[in-house]
Structure 1
Amino acid sequence: MRKASRLFEIIQILRLARRPVTAATIAAQLEVTARSIYRDIAALQAMRVPIEGGRGIGYILRPGFTLPPLMLSIEESEAIVLALALLERTGDTELKQAAKQVTRKIAAAVPAPLAESFSRNALHAWGAVAPAPDAADLSTVRRAIRDEQKLLLDYRDELGRATERQIRPIALIYYSQTANIVGWCELRQAIRNFRVDRVARCEPVPDFFRHQGEELRRLWVEGWTAKPDAAKAPA
């Protein structure tokens, strides 16, 4: 286990303990030597984490000490770093900006050894970057999915045929080249995917499909292996 991960785990163990915990007990849980735990606790104390106690009597966190609201292991930190990097490859301008803000907030909230994961610039997501769609505002699509609000699309299929579709949006899939809106199409009476780069207009309409989103997503997932006509829209 890496040192940063051990420091995190030691804080978590002490935070949850109701009585002093010995270095031997912590060492057994983390599968390291008690000597390593003594060094780690000394490092935490040097970082002003108020751990009290000593050898033979155990360690506790000082009463009244409040930990930062967000505590992550080094692996969890790296998972978030990579996930946020992947957002840079999408055409969702709002989410890309949000990713930068999340990185700054998490780096400011976690202890110094973990914050390094967000600043060392060692993990990258490489590949093509999807352009922002011309007509479909992806933030509008995401809000419609959350609010279960219908969308009106002017859409062209792969053959260039234009149609007007009113849909119940249930999901948004991000690919490296584009994004797909998944929704129940009221024209086709089935779940369909709509590439955002083929959308000429995307507007919310004053009509909702409250409490149907989860059921439609269930039908969509079932449809990955079922026949295309197996899904029926909820009433």
Structure 2
Amino acid sequence: MRKASRLFEIIQILRLAKRPVTAAIIAEQLEVTVRSVYRDIVALQAMRVPIEGGRGIGYILRPGFDLPPLMFSIEEMEAIVLSLALLERTGDGELKQAAARIGQKIAGAVPPPLRQAMDAKALYAWGSIAPSPTADLASVRRAIRDEQKLDIAYRDELGRETQRVIRPIALIYYSQTANVVAWCELREAIRNFRSDRIEACEATGQFFKGDGERLRALWVSGWEINAGRQAG
């Protein structure tokens, strides 16, 4: 376990403890030597973390101390860095901008060792970048949250265009495009609409409040039915 992760875990152990915790117990939980725990405790105290106690007695975290709102282990930070990098490869402009803001906020809130993990540029998301779709995915996501119907002009794989009123319930992001999952009032069924084939998209002002979860459950049940057919 890396040192930055150990420091974080030691604070967590002491913060949750009801009584003094010995270095031996901490070492057993973290699978490190007792000597490493002693060194880590000294390092934390030098960082002004209010840890009290000593060898053979155990350690406690003085009341009133708490972790910052954003506190991650090295591995958790690496997961965030990679997730934000993957998000950059979607065609969703608003989410790309949000990813950049998230990175800046986290970098400004976490301790220096974790900030270094963000700035190391050692993790990359490779592959093609999805082109920006004709549909505004930000408005689609808002419609999903608000359970509002959308009026779309949709062009199928043969180039035929139809006008649809849909009840959007989910967005699936692929490397090449994003698919809008919705109840189509024209077909009276769940349908997937490729965002790069949506020529126009407008909110109708009509809502399907409270029905989103049911439609998502219906969508998921279709996976199970299809999986059963393939297995057979």
Q: TM-score, normalised by structure 2?
A: 0.93
Equivalent in the alignment of 2:29 = 29
Could you tell me which amino acid in structure 1 is paired with residue 181 of structure 2? V
Shift of residue 24 of structure 1?
1.0
Could you tell me which amino acid in structure 1 is paired with residue 195 of structure 2? V
Paired with 2:207 and 2:78, the residues of 1 have a C-alpha distance of 39
Equivalent in the alignment of 1:8 = 8
Q: Describe the superposition over 1:109-141 as per-residue Cα deviations: whole angstroms up to 9, x where unpaired.
A: 22222222211111110011112123x111100
Residue 226 of structure 1 aligns to a residue in which SS? helix
Contact 2:15–2:66 under 8 Å retained in 1: no
Paired with 1:73 and 1:204, the residues of 2 have a C-alpha distance of 42
Equivalent in the alignment of 2:199 = 200
Paired with 1:18 and 1:114, the residues of 2 have a C-alpha distance of 28
Residue 192 of structure 2 aligns to a residue in which SS? strand
Q: Describe the superposition over 1:18-48 as per-residue Cα deviations: whole angstroms up to 9, x where unpaired.
A: 2221111111111211101011111222222
Paired with 1:225 and 1:20, the residues of 2 have a C-alpha distance of 51
Equivalent in the alignment of 1:215 = 214
Equivalent in the alignment of 2:229 = none
Paired with 2:66 and 2:6, the residues of 1 have a C-alpha distance of 19
Equivalent in the alignment of 2:49 = 49
Equivalent in the alignment of 2:175 = 176
Alignment RMSD (CA, Å) = 1.3
Are 2:20 and 1:20 equivalent residues in the alignment? yes
Paired with 1:111 and 1:18, the residues of 2 have a C-alpha distance of 26
Could you tell me which amino acid in structure 1 is paired with residue 91 of structure 2? G
Could you tell me which amino acid in structure 2 is paired with residue 177 of structure 1? Q
Identity of aligned residues (%): 74
Are 2:145 and 1:164 equivalent residues in the alignment? no
Equivalent in the alignment of 1:233 = none
Equivalent in the alignment of 1:102 = 102
Paired with 1:115 and 1:50, the residues of 2 have a C-alpha distance of 22
Shift of residue 70 of structure 1?
2.2
Contact 2:150–2:204 under 8 Å retained in 1: yes
Could you tell me which amino acid in structure 2 is paired with residue 138 of structure 1? L
Contact 2:78–2:117 under 8 Å retained in 1: yes
Unaligned segments of structure 1, at least 5 residues:
228-235
Are 2:126 and 1:126 equivalent residues in the alignment? yes
Residue 81 of structure 1 aligns to a residue in which SS? helix
Equivalent in the alignment of 1:72 = 72
Paired with 1:201 and 1:176, the residues of 2 have a C-alpha distance of 22
Shift of residue 68 of structure 1?
0.2
Q: What is the number of residues matched between the two proteins?
A: 226
Q: Describe the superposition over 1:153-199 as per-residue Cα deviations: whole angstroms up to 9, x where unpaired.
A: 00000000110010000001111111111100000011111111111
Paired with 1:225 and 1:24, the residues of 2 have a C-alpha distance of 49
Residue 223 of structure 1 aligns to a residue in which SS? helix
Unaligned segments of structure 2, at least 5 residues:
227-232
Paired with 1:148 and 1:216, the residues of 2 have a C-alpha distance of 11
